[in-house]
């Protein structure tokens, strides 16, 4: 039992923790370095990390959390469908290579006349629309870039049901086409290929199909495969109705459902400021019904819905599942990818947003790596990290090939791949339950993820990755293993200064001046304070001045003044040396 009980907050700086424990900052930072953590005196650590540091140092101290008054539940949650869930419109992302006619295709479907090439048209704005076909609604997402959809996925949003990949019949598969295919597969979305520009004399739809089938595993239905491909012309309108029919057919097989009689929730897909209107926020409703006067919370932003407009700018009184809507009333702009929920009143909305802001600040203050990353890295010095995988394939031969290939991935002893389950057939609920441990991924090769299993995976936060090309699956596994490797700490010398005078010494700041002996100095660099060759402390340069003017950089032979951040009061003397350097974590590769 520890003799001394020390209470700390959920988040403390390295300097604060060192002072609380009665240690020098150098000792504490040194211990973190041993475990692969590039720490500075102002970097924040979470409680669990601080606790492990204490154990690593063998201190006779027991850490306890300071009590907080917040008992609120976290804003984000996973919606569980009720037995009253109803069918909802499919959400369809339209993706493709630049100039393959993605925007023109959408304009033609929506009967718009705004497309002037990829630089203009509808990709500049809300990017969410709705089309009707035989009385049924389809929600269309025009992608401003694949990076934007990657951000959506990082926020835990898997709202895309179908991806229309637009490929020009006269140009074939291009890099962004391949990116679109990868996105669709990683998002577990169904793929429909629109082979556009068939009105051109140089169009060759058959060549496009051959490329997709032979190089990317997308086999057309007419060739015995399972990928719907429709030859269309955005210019003439040929086969656009057939394309929408195929999208609805593919979506129907997914049994898409949502709850209606529940408070609205969904995702922020666009946000900007407009003169006279304030914050205009594009939302995509996932469940429930959104109405004017509802109080909304999205991340750190909140407000009361003043107006609701559809994608054509018409006023709306209600927005249900799969519906895009532009709202005004937010007091500030939420972030792209934030989830939104309904609050009971303004007080609750304000409290929820304030809590989210505190959490955001706490996480942002932990620089370089998160608390979870720190814990992971500190544990890596004892045992190799394990990357656990479950493999499902369409046939036994494919299953054996995938498993054997995975085992051939070379490792360096720091990470190991373990196949904890495998089988033939679609991914099942049992697979999801088996994969709930840390660092576990389910790989599906030429198999499907049924809707019910997909929902379970989302609730359990289990990663499921589907592939049609074995090399892409292997690349994914190798990258995932590399992400588990402890990074190397790399320090780069930048310059050195001889202290000529000390002008002010405070608890957490020293103002000193001197002459640059070599290299250069700039704001933000770390520095070792040395006296007669021995390191006294480590500090951070918070500002640089030359001739009493703020300077970006000062070089060898020049005089300058420095403001130095310190964890606690230190003594700087004339004749001391400051060695400036950077410290960073460099990712290892296999």
pLDDT score for 156: 32
Quote the CA–CA distance of 22 and 87 in Å, as a whole number: 62
Instruction: Confirm if 294 and 345 have CB atoms less than 8 A apart.
Output: no
83 is in an annotated binding site: no
- Scan for tokens 């995975």, then name that residue: 406
Is the whole-model pTM more than 0.85? no
Read off φ and ψ for residue 384, nearest 5 degrees: -70, 140
pLDDT score for 381: 42
Closest CA to 321 of 295, 294, 283: 283
100 is in an annotated binding site: yes
pLDDT score for 414: 82
**Two domains, one topology: 385-482 and 488-586:** no
CA distances (Å), origin 334, targets 249, 328, 370, 373, 453 = 35, 12, 23, 27, 31
Burial class (CB in 10 A: 0-12, 13-18, 19+), 515: middle
The DSSP H or E segment spanning 240 is: helix 240-252
pLDDT score for 73: 36
pLDDT score for 359: 77
Read off φ and ψ for residue 572, nearest 5 degrees: -110, 130
470-511 residue pLDDT tens: 888 989 999 999 888 888 888 999 999 999 999 988 878 999
Give the rounded distance of the alpha carbon of 199 from its chain centre: 40
pLDDT score for 455: 92
96 is in an annotated binding site: yes
CATH topology of domain 4-69+368-379: Arc Repressor Mutant, subunit A (1.10.10)
Superfamily of chain region 265-365: Translation factors (2.40.30.10)
Closest CA to 299 of 496, 121, 151: 151
Quote the CA–CA distance of 429 and 445 in Å, as a whole number: 17
- Write down how long the chain is: 590
pLDDT score for 371: 38
* Tokens of residue 541, six digits: 């340069």
What's the CA angle centered on 13, arms 9 and 16, to 5 degrees?
80
Report whether CATH 3.40.50.300 matches the domain 89-255: yes
Instruction: Confirm if 349 and 296 have CB atoms less than 8 A apart.
Output: yes
pLDDT score for 35: 59
Domain ranges of the chain: 4-69+368-379, 89-255, 265-365, 385-482, 488-586
Closest CA to 192 of 149, 163, 225: 163
Instruction: Confirm if 181 and 147 have CB atoms less than 8 A apart.
Output: no
Which CATH code of 3.40.50.2300, 3.40.50.10050, 3.40.50.2000, 1.10.1660.10 fits the domain covering 385-482?
A: 3.40.50.10050
Strands 91-96 and 136-142: parallel
101 is in an annotated binding site: yes
Read off φ and ψ for residue 12, nearest 5 degrees: -135, 150
CA distances (Å), origin 308, targets 139, 197, 260, 353, 362 = 17, 36, 18, 21, 34
196 is in an annotated binding site: yes
Number of alpha carbons in the 13 Å side-chain half-sphere of residue 457: 26
| Whole-number CA gyration radius for the chain | 28
Low-confidence stretches of the chain (pLDDT < 70) are 1-3, 10-11, 33-40, 42, 46, 48, 65-78, 112-126, 143-159, 336, 361-384, 395-397
Instruction: Confirm if 112 and 123 have CB atoms less than 8 A apart.
Output: no
281 is in an annotated binding site: no
310 is in an annotated binding site: no
- Complete DSSP assignment for 47-76: HHHHHHHHHHHT-SEEEEEPP----PPPS-
144 is in an annotated binding site: yes
Instruction: Confirm if 184 and 113 have CB atoms less than 8 A apart.
Output: no
Instruction: Confirm if 133 and 110 have CB atoms less than 8 A apart.
Output: no
Closest CA to 162 of 189, 201, 140: 189
Closest CA to 109 of 95, 124, 129: 129
433 is in an annotated binding site: no
pLDDT score for 93: 87
pLDDT score for 412: 72
Residues sharing a CB contact under 8 Å with residue 472, sequence separation 6 or more, in sequence order: 182, 185
Assign residue 250 a region (left: φ > 0; alpha: ψ between -120 and 50; beta: otherwise): alpha
Any alpha helices (H) in 115-204, and if so which ranges? 146-154, 175-186
E strands, 85-161, where? 86-87, 91-96, 128-133, 136-142
E strands, 169-251, where? 190-196, 228-231
Region 488-586: CATH code: 2.40.30.10
Quote the CA–CA distance of 295 and 21 in Å, as a whole number: 45
Quote the CA–CA distance of 525 and 535 in Å, as a whole number: 17
198 is in an annotated binding site: yes
145 is in an annotated binding site: yes
- Scan for tokens 């058959």, then name that residue: 206
97 is in an annotated binding site: yes
The 10 Å Cβ neighbour count of residue 75 is 19
* Tokens of residue 479, six digits: 């990258």
């Amino acid at each position: 039992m520890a003799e001394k009980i020390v209470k700390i907050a959920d988040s403390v700086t390295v300097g604060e923790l060192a002072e609380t424990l009665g240690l020098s900052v150098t000792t504490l930072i040194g211990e973190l370095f041993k475990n692969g953590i590039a720490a500075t005196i102002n970097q924040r650590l979470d409680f669990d990390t601080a606790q492990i540091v204490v154990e690593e140092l063998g201190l006779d101290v027991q850490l306890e959390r300071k009590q907080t008054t917040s008992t609120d539940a976290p804003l984000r949650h996973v919606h569980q469908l009720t037995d009253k869930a109803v069918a909802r419109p499919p959400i369809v992302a339209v993706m493709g290579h630049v100039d393959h006619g993605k925007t023109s295709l959408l304009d033609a479907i929506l009967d718009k006349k705004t497309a002037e090439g990829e630089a203009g048209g509808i990709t500049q704005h809300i990017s969410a629309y709705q089309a009707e076909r035989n009385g049924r609604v389809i929600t269309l997402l025009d992608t401003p870039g694949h990076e934007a959809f990657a951000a959506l996925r990082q926020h835990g949003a898997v709202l895309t049901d179908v991806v229309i990949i637009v490929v020009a019949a006269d140009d074939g598969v291009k890099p962004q086409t391949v990116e679109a295919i990868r996105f669709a597969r990683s998002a577990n979305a169904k793929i429909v290929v629109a082979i556009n520009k068939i009105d051109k004399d140089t169009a060759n739809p058959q060549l496009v199909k051959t490329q997709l089938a032979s190089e990317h595993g997308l086999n057309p239905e007419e060739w015995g495969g399972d990928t719907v491909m429709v030859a269309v012309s955005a210019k003439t309108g040929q086969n656009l109705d057939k394309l929408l029919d195929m999208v609805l057919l593919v979506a129907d097989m997914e049994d898409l459902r949502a709850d209606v009689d529940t408070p609205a929730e969904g995702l922020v897909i666009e946000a900007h400021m407009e003169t006279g209107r304030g914050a205009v926020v594009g939302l995509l409703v996932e469940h429930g019904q959104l109405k004017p006067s509802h109080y909304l919370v999205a991340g750190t932003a909140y407000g009361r819905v003043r107006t609701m407009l559809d994608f054509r700018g018409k006023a709306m009184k209600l927005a249900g599942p799969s519906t895009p809507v532009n709202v005004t009333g937010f007091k500030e702009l939420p972030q792209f990818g934030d989830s939104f929920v309904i609050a009971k009143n303004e007080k609750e909305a304000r409290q929820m947003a304030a809590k989210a802001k505190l959490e955001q600040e706490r996480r942002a203050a932990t620089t370089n790596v998160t608390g979870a990353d720190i814990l992971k890295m500190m544990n890596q010095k004892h045992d190799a990290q394990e990357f656990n995988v479950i493999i499902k394939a369409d046939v036994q031969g494919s299953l054996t090939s995938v498993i054997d290939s995975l085992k051939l991935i070379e490792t360096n002893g720091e990470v190991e791949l373990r196949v904890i389950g495998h089988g033939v057939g679609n991914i099942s609920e049992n697979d999801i339950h088996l994969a709930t441990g840390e660092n576990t991924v389910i790989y599906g090769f030429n198999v499907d993820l049924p809707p019910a299993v997909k929902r379970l995976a989302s609730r359990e936060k289990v990663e499921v990755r589907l592939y049609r090309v074995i090399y892409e699956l292997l690349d994914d596994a190798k990258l995932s293993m590399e992400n588990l490797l402890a990074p190397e700490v790399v320090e780069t010398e930048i310059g050195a200064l001889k202290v000529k005078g000390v002008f002010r010494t405070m608890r957490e700041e020293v103002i000193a001046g001197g002459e640059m002996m070599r290299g250069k100095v700039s704001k933000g660099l770390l520095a070792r304070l040395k006296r007669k060759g021995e390191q006294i402390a480590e500090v951070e340069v918070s500002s640089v001045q030359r001739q009493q003017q703020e300077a970006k950089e000062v070089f060898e032979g020049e005089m300058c003044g420095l403001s130095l951040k310190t964890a606690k009061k230190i003594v700087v003397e004339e004749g001391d040396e400051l060695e400036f350097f950077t410290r960073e974590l460099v990712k290892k590769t296999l």
